[in-house]
């Protein structure tokens, strides 16, 4: 008889976490975000079950795009052939878009839209999710 424990999606309640993105590289930040959204940080992780948590990102304006040149942003091509789409220009207008696209490409292709709905990104420190009593992510 098989005694392997396979959790159901309603097995645990989804927790809310707050992650401060200030002075963190984009790639490392996207990796941490995708792990939390998929639920890989839990001991009962199963790839067939969606048991990831909600995540609130604050200070999205202060992330590091180039870790080797923190003093200034270089013009990187975000979407080739499209005018006005360098990474610097997009980051100055909408820093959330850079984080969302990086995280979206790290998530499994079949569940990108459902998992990405649990990600909330804000430019500053303030967020409207205080009622959910989010836990500060230390990691």
Q: What is the pLDDT of residues 89-127, one digit of tens each?
A: 777 788 898 899 899 999 998 888 888 899 999 999 999
Asked if residue 7 belongs to a domain, the reply is no
User: Residue 51 is part of which domain span?
Assistant: 16-136
CATH number for the domain that contains residue 63 = 3.90.1180.10
Does the pLDDT at position 86 exceed 70? Answer: no
Asked if residue 78 belongs to a domain, the reply is yes
In our burial notation (b when 16+ CB lie closer than 10 A, e otherwise), range 17-52 reads bbbbbeebbbeebbebbbbbbbbeebeeebeeeebb
Q: What is the pLDDT of residues 33-52, one digit of tens each?
A: 999 999 999 988 888 888 88
Asked if residue 1 belongs to a domain, the reply is no
Mean pLDDT, residues 15-20: 96
What proportion of the chain, given as a percentage, has pLDDT over 70? 82
Under a CB-based contact definition with an 8 Å cutoff, are residues 139 and 24 in contact? no
Q: How confident is the model at residue 132 (pLDDT cuts 50, 70, 90)?
A: very high
Please state, in angstroms and as integers, the Cα–Cα distance from residue 117 to each residue in 16, 54, 62, 112, 138, following that order.
13, 9, 23, 9, 22
Asked if residue 85 belongs to a domain, the reply is yes
Q: Which tops the pLDDT comparison, 32 or 98?
A: 32
- Based on the structure, what is the number of domains in the chain? 1
Asked if residue 100 belongs to a domain, the reply is yes
Does the pLDDT at position 75 exceed 70? Answer: no
């Amino acid at each position: 008889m098989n005694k392997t424990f396979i959790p159901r999606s309603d097995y645990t309640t989804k927790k809310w976490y707050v992650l401060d993105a200030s002075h963190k590289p984009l790639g490392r930040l996207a990796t941490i975000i995708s792990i939390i959204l998929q639920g890989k940080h839990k001991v009962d992780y199963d790839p067939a079950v969606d048991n990831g948590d909600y995540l609130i990102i604050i200070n999205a304006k202060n992330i590091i795009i180039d870790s080797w040149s923190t003093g200034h942003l270089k013009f990187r091509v975000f979407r080739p052939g499209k005018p006005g789409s360098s990474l610097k220009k997009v980051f100055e207008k909408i820093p959330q878009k850079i984080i969302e696209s990086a995280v979206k490409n790290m998530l499994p292709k079949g569940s990108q839209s459902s998992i990405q709905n649990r990600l909330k990104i804000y430019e500053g420190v303030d967020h409207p999710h205080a009622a959910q009593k989010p836990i500060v992510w230390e990691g």
